[in-house]
Amino acid sequence: IHRDLAARNVLLESDRRVKIGDFGLAKALPHGCDYYRVRDDGDSPVFWFAMECLKECKFSFASDVWSY
């Protein structure tokens, strides 16, 4: 889970290829798990978070897409 997927973190490599950068907030999901729960909010970009991230501190692939 990237947790900070935004246009500012997407780099254009060529005509049809992009790369995602800034993995400072990224977390690897354990096998069989489809979300990550944050214990300490810390310094997070809350303005771009999906509602479930703010309410339940749960991050998923869907919340990454929503924030982008």
4 noted as active-site residue: yes
Distance between CA atoms of residues 20 and 5, nearest Å = 8
Distance between CA atoms of residues 59 and 52, nearest Å = 8
Question: Which residues form the catalytic set?
Answer: 4
